[in-house]
Chain A
Amino acid sequence: MLDARALARFRRNRSAVAGAVVVAALVLFALVIPLLSRHGPLTSNFPDGVGPDLMPVGPCAEFPLGVDRIFRDVLSRLAVAGRLSLVIATSATLIATAIGTVVGVVAGYYEGSGLKVPWPALAGLVGAILAALLGWMWVAVSVLLAGVATSAVRHFSGPRLNVDGVLMRVVDVLLAFPFLLLVMAIGASLDHTSSVTIFVTLGVTGWLGIARVLRAKTLQVRTLDYVVASRALGQSTPRVLLRHVLPNIAGPLVVSATVLVAQMIVADAVLSFLGVGIAPPTPTWGRMLFEGQSSIQVAPWLVAAPATILVMAVWGFNMIGEGLRDALDPRGL
């Protein structure tokens, strides 16, 4: 995917290298600072964090980024928030990429020809949708798996469905929902939000763009001679997809996923900023922005610190994504 020539092109792209350095520094910061810091992210520092005017102290030797409104060390909170934010963003991106890849490749590959769906699998799908609508998520997953497994162990007849049409209409419908509104609705419906619920929520709602991109790319790839040849030679569809299609759409896949990490970081920050992210006192960059905004005139470090690191993270991942796109661009080959 990223051969020597592509890697060389990436290295020559100063913005991309700068982005990679920034992201690496952020990861290092998030990993190391909590180990080195003398102050816990959740602990108020009495009396050291209290200034002579009874206000939170600003940046100083003891607290390099000052303390927040309840006298917690901003540096340590920023680093722990960074861990969470990076874990949530990358995990959500993995989920979204996995779903988007399956949907995009299947839709693109079967465009125009349709897919014969065995009756048990179809029944499982319909049952799963009904169960999901009733809120029985475990039942939905079980029914779907049972239908697919039954179809896999022996041959069943079934109707030929326009899978591409169905999947893309689902994508259209979901795209019509404002992304954050959907995420907020799911987040608000949860009794208790944790990092897992946040990245799962972001992941299962964030795959739409990738699916569209990969469908378009698959439409191109499936007509290439070697793909047609392997189908003519009787290779199974999964083998064709895994051996010939996927490797040839890996470029746009990686680029989309990298840019998606940045989007997920922002989405996570917005959720926390709106109060539907991870419950306090766990620090997140969005939450720190929310908590600091009312004090911006008198304690600007409370907003400046999380805002700066958020900007750096988003910029870094976007620059990497841009660099990868340029490096993997076939026109550059």
Chain B
Amino acid sequence: MRSIRAAYDALAAALGLSAILLLVLPAGCSRALSDPIPPVHDDEAAPRRGGTLRLASISDLRGLDPAGAVDGLSLGPVHLIFAGLVDYDEHARIVPELADHWSVEDGGRTYRFVLRTGVTMHDGTELTADDVKRSIERALHPSTPSQFASYFTGLVGYGAYANGEAEHLEGVVAEGRYDVRFRLQRPDATFPYLLALHAMRPTCKSAGYRYSDTWLPCGAGPFKLERGGWQPGTSLRLVRHPGYFRPGLPYLDAVEWTFNMQEPAQRMHFERGELDLVRDWTDITAARFAADPRWQKYGAVEGDNAMYGETMNTRVPPFDNVEVRRAVAAAIDREHYRLTGPARMRVLTQALPGSVAVDPSYVGQRYDYAAALEHMRKAGYPYDPATGRGGWPDPIEYLLYDQGAVTLTAPLLQQDLARIGLRIRLKVVSFPTFLTLQQRAGAVAISLGSNLLDYPEPSAVFDGLFTTSSISPEGTQNTSFYSNPRFDELAAKAHLELDPERRRALYQEANAILCDEAPWAFTFGFHFYDVHQGYVRGFRPHPVWPLDVGSVWLDRTGDELERMLGGGLR
């Protein structure tokens, strides 16, 4: 009933608003962007402490337990609350964070981390090796619904621990107060990346061991949860951790989120100076900010960590025919896709998003209409564009859900594939239904594929999405059910290969196989476009994490700052 009433309200609001628009706006006219609020001091000014950074989100927070923080919204606050043994620098390179240093021993089978001394957790205790071991065991405990657990099967003793046969994880050893060793069954070049995952970050012993959606977070990051500062569905307030191990940081007194605020409201509050930084723009609004010279220097592109494509089930006709898949990959005009969100979308022509592309200039798939027709001919389904005859004889169902970019790209795909004789019929389902069907063997012929990198390394794409071992009858991430022994071999070798150059070569060959055999037609990469007010200083989008505001400071006049400190949106 509530959803229907909400729909009625939304429809009525849309009707009413449009009537007002018709009265007050000439046709085609749209409201101009306001001026940015400038900083008080010049570019050379030293950072000032104080103030509350005010953010908002169109959705609600799923939780603050790092073991379950997998979505873009949760990652923001979780990243501010929890520090890891290692993290990424501004070039997405692994650097020590809570670790003072680390070494690789035993031919890549053992990683030894030595912790910083004197790191204070949010509950006032000092970080020790036992905290690291306990936190990792907590994250990988069988009762914790972590989607990252499968990454750690190479840890010695993981199987026994995951099955509940062992009380502790044998492969994680706390040696002394500040020394932690990770023992692997075989060398794994990607292991340091896995330790940067938030799920692996140390948590306070006092916060409790069991996973919960309502678990109150406690870590060693620059901000901590204010007592009573999390109102699910409404707001979140983090305050400065006075014992943060990096001297002088953070500059801000607090960071606040308001949840469930729709994009038009966010834009209104932002332009009135009541929100300081916004990332939930619609594609059109983001493009307008990006194109406005007044706002360009306050806009920032987040990491290119998401990839999208059309995933074709290699076990379902006609996509069990590699030539049909090649035809699809060649028939899609990716530039048209990009035009649906030019500020946030980038044409993708290979299996790796921009942030981890081995060779960013590599063009593995591209729009080539003549080639697409030729592939259809080779597949045995020649199509004559002049007469419209030929092609695959039956309609092909394309599964989608009714939100986000796919509502725009699906009709474009339909138009592109009609030109090579593939008639697509769109079937809209709810998002949970979409996931269930897409991840079920034989249920879907073609659908939208998407992947947000868990860590910035090609294996984060290849292992889950395309290896034979990731196929399962239900709940598979390999939604194209793609299997290629050579590809599997390359993916496995890359894990073992510690030499970066040789690993890159393996990844590039694997990438070329995927582009040629086209289990996906790779279409576009996606990045958020953040816009902040001029007085928000020191914000640099992190190449991996969303909304990393740990070094942000506010440069407003005293009275404005006072109003901000008064807190809240009017």
Contacts and interface: CB of A to CB of B under 8 A. Distances in A.
A50 to B, nearest CB: 6
B10 A296 contact: no
B407 A289 contact: no
B11 A289 contact: yes
B407 A291 contact: yes
B17 A296 contact: yes
A53 B428 contact: no
Interface in A43-64: 43-44, 46, 50, 53-55, 58-60
Contact of B27 (A54, A180, A293, A301): A301
Given A58-B28, A297-B267, A274 B427 contact: no
A281 B414 contact: yes
A333 interface: no
B284 A55 contact: yes
B21 A303 contact: yes
Interface string A60-87: 1000001001111000000000000000
Contacts of A69: 283-284, 340, 408
A318 B218 CA distance: 61
Which applies to chain B's interface (DSSP): helix, strand, loop or mixed? helix
A289 B21 CA distance: 14
A322 B94 CA distance: 73
Contacts of B411: 42, 44, 70, 72, 280-281
A224 interface: no
B263 interface: yes
Interface in B257-291: 263-264, 267, 282-285, 287-288, 291
B410 interface: yes
A297 B285 contact: yes
Interface string B9-36: 0110011011101100101111100000
Interface string B32-44: 0000000000000
A273 B407 contact: no
B407 A280 contact: yes
Contact of A184 (B4, B283, B414): B4
B428 A279 contact: yes
Nearest to B400: A280
Contacts of B340: 69-70
A294 interface: yes
A60 B340 CA distance: 20
Contacts of B15: 289, 307, 310-311
Contact of A181 (B1, B11, B407): B1
A293 B336 contact: no
Nearest to A289: B14
A332 interface: no
A160 interface: no
Contacts of A70: 340, 408, 411-412
A247 interface: no
B93 interface: no
A275 interface: yes
Contacts of B282: 294-295, 298
A140 interface: no
A54 B339 CA distance: 7
B464 interface: no
A299 interface: yes
Contacts of B151: none
Question: Which 3 residue pairs of A and B lie closest in terms of their CB atoms, listed nearest first?
Answer: A58-B28, A307-B18, A275-B402
Interface of A: 42-44, 46, 50, 53-55, 58-60, 66, 69-72, 178, 180-181, 184, 192, 269-270, 273-275, 279-281, 286, 289, 291, 293-301, 303-304, 307-308, 310-311
10 contacts: A44-B412, A54-B342, A181-B1, A273-B7, A279-B427, A279-B428, A296-B14, A296-B18, A298-B31, A308-B19
Given A50-B339, A58-B28, A274-B4, 10 more contacts: A42-B415, A44-B411, A46-B336, A53-B291, A55-B288, A58-B27, A70-B408, A270-B7, A289-B15, A296-B21
